[in-house]
Structure 1
Amino acid sequence: MPDPRRQIIGRRSKAFGDAFERWLTNACEFYLKEGWAHIEKTPEPFHITGKDANGVVRGYYEKKGQPDYKGILCDGTGIMFEAKHTDSDRINQSVVTDKQWESLDIYERFGAHCYVMVSMGLMKFYRVPWDVWKKMKELFGHKFMTEQELEPYKLQEKQCTILILEGVELKDENTENGIGAETE
């Protein structure tokens, strides 16, 4: 028999994960408006099983295959990232699926900026470089990251927008500060 508490926790976590993705999508719209990047949410594959007599489509979402977002920065460099939310005090490396791992590796090999965006309790947000995510065991001695280990990758917010690209370095950029950095 299903545990009602676990069901409630699962629904809450899913709702928080969905909210995090909406916030990331809003940030992507901000960067497009500013002319810094065009990043889109990757649609989840939907398998249609049929229609009923009223024309209502029946189906289900297939297992996630690709990372959540991909696009291009204003310098022509690609970008790809996966979004992960946790209500815990740590984020496990295993939350990235094998298919997502493979896609991030391929994009990274071709020179794209690749990250895992992490939400902790919808209160703190981080942009973990893919090369750090892959090496958790080597870097931290375990296959998860704590809030303390995530701290160097913490993202700022400004006017209710998560600044997901703040400090990302562009090719041939004259400044070392990157996208959205304050200039004097």
Structure 2
Amino acid sequence: MTEQDKPAPSRLVVLAGPTAVGKGTVANVIREEHPEVWISVSATTRPARPGEIDGVHYWFVSDERFDEMIAEGELLEWAVVHSAARYGTPRGPVEEALAAGRPALLEIDLQGARQVKASMPEALFVFLKPPSWEELVRRLVGRGTESEEERERRLASARVELAAESEFDVAIVNHEVREAAGQLLTLMRPV
């Protein structure tokens, strides 16, 4: 393959927002309906929730393996989320997708987005926000996947996360998942 045959590198799009806003749901719609979009799979030290598959939803790793990934520079970003588990984005697959010219999406938390912004400021940073605080609480409670203590911890984090909207290039209100996914896909198209 000659230099002119190589695809032009693509621009990374980073999607972040508060807990329970629907980042994962929006990313899943794009994953299912737009296989041309490469979506990062994060590593995490938290246990899998019912129905989650290792390597599809997350890479579920031990604390020891996560420590190795940090030490070896294998993570583009990582953070402790909700004062509990660690999450991180493996660097290699992101760089490979961008070099191949594929539309690339990271669906991560606020701390991770800030780290990516420091190392890849040319990325497009998109903030997904709820229609209202009440709707965010309803969605979190409606998931039924967290204990009361975990819900309270996540809601405390969400208040802080919502205040960070101005750090992002653009915001999308998640009134309806397919509409939000469509807006995100429009932003991912080359200019």
Greater gyration radius: 1
TM-score with structure 2 setting the length: 0.32
Where relative contact order (Cα < 8 A, 6+ residues apart) is larger, the structure is 2
TM-score with structure 1 setting the length: 0.33
